Amino acid sequence: MSRRTIVVLQGDQTGQELLVEALRVLQPGVIRYDLEFVPFDLSLENRRATQNAVVYEAAEALNQFGYGIKAATITPEQKGDVGSPNALLREAIKGEVILRTGRRIPSVRPYVGVYAPITVVRMAVDDAYNAKEWREGEGLDERAYRTEKLSRRTCRVVAEYAFTYAAKTGAKVFGGPKYTVSPIYEGMFKEELDAAAARHPHVRYDPQLIDATYALLLDTSGEALVIPTLNRDGDLLSDLVIKMFGSIAGAESQILSFDENMNVRVVVTEAPHGTAPALQGKNVANPMAMILAGAALLSHMPDVAAQRASRAIYEATLEAVHQGVRTADLGGHASTTEFTDEVIRRVSSKLEVWDSLR
């Protein structure tokens, strides 16, 4: 078994602190799996100092090694600044899908009556993001314009992955775009969803307009769902779905790039939340999402040992919460490092027991 290399994308504020916690869990001495870490400093300070050169260097490493874990980073608001490293990375690795799953956190009461997992399969490119925008006119006659685009390939990749993932997890593909008011633009995505449904006749398919999808989520309970979305729709919907289960820190996010045969070529995992500057240095932030990001990354590695380590991290993290080791956002008193220590203890114990039973 060859050593796997993980590209570590360092970030800002509490985001970087939580990445450090996740890397503690991924140490070979904990997970019994040999990893090499190649770091890149994607802090706002270094991105400005290098004029984003470090982002492109990191993308080259991702394309070479195939695996990355990323801390939350600051995106400056000023026009002409370095912008979003996420957008640059997605473009450079040809990321096409962002995968986020809201799941029940044991012993944590969800905000609505959801129970089964809900996965949002979001376009990572095209649509409203990076669209050209401009204004014309003055006063009350001033008008704003934006050009957006969708590609047939991206629509097909998102649709196919949604049905493949639903087949793998036993879920129903649910939702869809507002094609009734946008038959040309959003209709292209609907065409690909219907075509994917025909290719996967054993996967349940319940197409809905995006507004109905939001409303019907409040009535879901016992059925696992996979919701394929346009870029902008998925950005909004995925945050809502994760929060419905109790905390936005309770699930990981994955950016996926594919080869021509629809195999995952590059995966970058991260937490879905931001840099949380108010929590920096206080050792109180919830590291769950970053720890689970590490577990998700291991799940893409083909080695049995990596799969076992991934499962151990997922189980240990959720068991810790279930048995009362929680940070303040989940109603507990554990610090960031105390929660991570508990996960490490449980991962080590699980792998030791599992080895004895082989």
CATH of the domain at 337: 3.40.718.10
Assess whether 235 and 323 both reside in one domain. Answer: no
Any domain includes 104: no
Look at residue 221 in the predicted model and tell me its pLDDT. Answer: 65
Any domain includes 19: yes
What number is the average pLDDT over the span 295-318? 96
Q: Distance between CA 42 and CA 87 in Å, rounded? A: 13
Q: Measured at the alpha carbon of residue 196, what is the angle toward residues 190 and 201, in degrees to the nearest 5?
A: 125
pLDDT exceeds 80 at position 1: no
Residue with tokens 């986020």: 100
pLDDT exceeds 90 at position 249: no
Q: Is 239 helix (H, G, I), strand (E, B) or coil?
A: helix
Any domain includes 260: no
Comparison of pLDDT for 357 and 229, the residue scoring more: 229
pLDDT grade for 222, boundaries at 50, 70 and 90 = confident
pLDDT grade for 220, boundaries at 50, 70 and 90 = low
Q: Is 261 helix (H, G, I), strand (E, B) or coil?
A: coil
pLDDT exceeds 90 at position 115: no
Look at residue 57 in the predicted model and tell me its pLDDT. Answer: 98
Please give the structure tokens belonging to residue 259. 């080869």
Give the containing element (helix H, strand E) for 256: strand 253-258
pLDDT exceeds 90 at position 176: yes
Residue type for position 345: R
Phi-psi label, residue 165: left if phi above 0, alpha if psi -120 to 50, beta otherwise:
alpha
pLDDT exceeds 80 at position 130: no
What number is the average pLDDT over the span 162-189? 96
pLDDT grade for 235, boundaries at 50, 70 and 90 = very high
- Which range has the worst mean pLDDT, 187-201, 235-249, 283-297? 235-249
What number is the average pLDDT over the span 221-231? 91
pLDDT exceeds 80 at position 113: no
Assess whether 83 and 153 both reside in one domain. Answer: no
Cβ atoms < 10 Å from Cβ of 132:
9
Assess whether 33 and 84 both reside in one domain. Answer: yes
Which of 331, 262, 280, 338 minimizes the C-alpha distance to 71? 280
Range of the domain at 18: 1-94+265-358
Q: Distance between CA 254 and CA 269 in Å, rounded? A: 4
Assess whether 117 and 186 both reside in one domain. Answer: yes
Q: Distance between CA 171 and CA 194 in Å, rounded? A: 17
Assess whether 11 and 75 both reside in one domain. Answer: yes
CA 23 vs. chain centroid, Å, equals 17
pLDDT exceeds 60 at position 161: yes
Comparison of pLDDT for 287 and 223, the residue scoring more: 287
Assess whether 281 and 207 both reside in one domain. Answer: no
Q: How many domains does the chain contain in total?
A: 2
**Average pLDDT over the chain, rounded to whole?**
94
Assess whether 296 and 339 both reside in one domain. Answer: yes
Any domain includes 165: yes
Total-model pTM: 0.93
* Highest mean pLDDT pick, 79-83, 128-132, 331-335: 331-335
pLDDT grade for 157, boundaries at 50, 70 and 90 = very high
Comparison of pLDDT for 19 and 125, the residue scoring more: 19
Assess whether 119 and 223 both reside in one domain. Answer: yes
Look at residue 184 in the predicted model and tell me its pLDDT. Answer: 96
For 257-269, the pLDDT digits (tens) are 999 888 999 999 9
